[in-house]
Amino acid sequence: MNESHVSFSKGCFRGQEVIARTEHLSKKKKEIISIKAEDEENIKSNKIKTLKKISFEGTTFKLVSFIPD
């Protein structure tokens, strides 16, 4: 949907529900996946951003965000 044709922050308009549903259904939902790497160099990328480090029973985990193409 072209942002110049429809404003999602403005008030109501005819067909708003159909347009909004189409806009939001086309976006990929978030998902959680597990990545295990012995060597951190193997997963360094501009598309992976560390959000938080978590330590549990002597093991450190990273909560990361992946930016798809």
Token pair listed for 61: 């985990």
pLDDT of residue 41: 64
pLDDT digits over 7-29, tens only?
Answer: 666 667 677 777 777 777 766 66
Neighbours of 6 (CB within 10 A): 14
pLDDT digits over 18-60, tens only?
Answer: 777 777 776 666 676 776 666 666 566 667 777 888 888 888 7
List the chain domain ranges.
Answer: 16-66
Run of H or E including 25: helix 16-25
Q: What is the pTM of this model?
A: 0.32
Nearest by Cα to 51 from 32, 64, 39: 64
